[in-house]
Amino acid sequence: MGNHDSLTTFVLVAVIGAGVLHAAWNAMVKHIDDRLMTFAAIGVTATGASAVALAVTGLPARAAIPYATASAAVHLAYELGLMNAYRLGAFNQTYPLARGTSPLVVAVGAYVLAHEHLSAVAFGGVAVLAAGLMSLALSSGHLGRHDLPAVSVAVLTGLTIAAYTLLDGLGVRRAHDPYAYAALLFLLQGPEFPLVALVRRPLRAWSSDGVLRWGLLAGALSLVAYGTVLWAQTRAPLAEVAALRETSVVSAALIGSVVFKERFGRRRVAAALLVATGIVLISL
């Protein structure tokens, strides 16, 4: 298990890069109307790649297997929450809310479970982050009744992100091999949506509207993005990795405004930058 006492420049750049990839594959999910099929294609990628990887790495240490199993279950809840958040709300509102909620909970969980402490500057970052989240919720100038379902689901999704981040951070440190842990995790969580899609969709749905092409690409990006995060969690404190990863909210806000032409782009971009500022302060 690697040293996770400090955050090096290489780890910092790798995690921020993983955040950009994460925003990109989430934008692909938002772009395709049939999100069940998109997650099914992502699951096919995860299952195939992880089966090959696990054959090479072997299983992680036995102590890590319960964490991977629990995390796979939480990931399923996360993906269901994500699907509903994107159905109910705009990408550049729901994505930053979901991702921005997580570091607050991870910081507390890492303090309790992994005995990692935040500095005074980091606590200031928590306050800035909270202000940014409120700004995102009010990005249209007020929080109307029609916004509540999307905002609520996004925040709940953020709680699942915090849960699997803590489970995986603790699990990968017990695995003795982050690649073996990642392979087992992806293999456990990969098959669920493909199986559901086989039951609920006709076979021709796999080739409709670029589902397979975009879904497989999104799956590949998600594997690289989260595999990088798992590796980083063996090299740096959990709260810092989780916080830096969520700088992806800036990418998401820009994608939502430029690609999806979503309304109130300037306000959401400004709020996402505030969230990112708080996240960076947490990581200092």
Structural domain includes residue 94: yes
Instruction: Write the pLDDT tens digit of every residue in 179-216.
Output: 999 999 999 999 999 999 999 988 888 777 677 888 88
Lowest mean pLDDT among 37-51, 102-116, 257-271: 257-271
Lowest mean pLDDT among 21-30, 141-150, 269-278: 141-150
Closest CA to 124 of 107, 106, 139: 107
Average pLDDT of every residue of the chain:
86
The predicted pLDDT at position 89 comes to 84
Structural domain includes residue 167: yes
Structural domain includes residue 4: no
User: pTM to 2 decimals?
Assistant: 0.85
Closest CA to 275 of 132, 82, 142: 132
- What's the DSSP call for residue 74? H
The predicted pLDDT at position 78 comes to 92
Structural domain includes residue 1: no
Structural domain includes residue 91: yes
Structural domain includes residue 3: no
Q: Which two tokens stand for residue 241?
A: 């990795």
d(CA 150, CA 96): 12
- Tally the domains of the chain: 1
> What residues make up the domain containing 13?
9-283
Structural domain includes residue 187: yes
- What's the DSSP call for residue 190? S
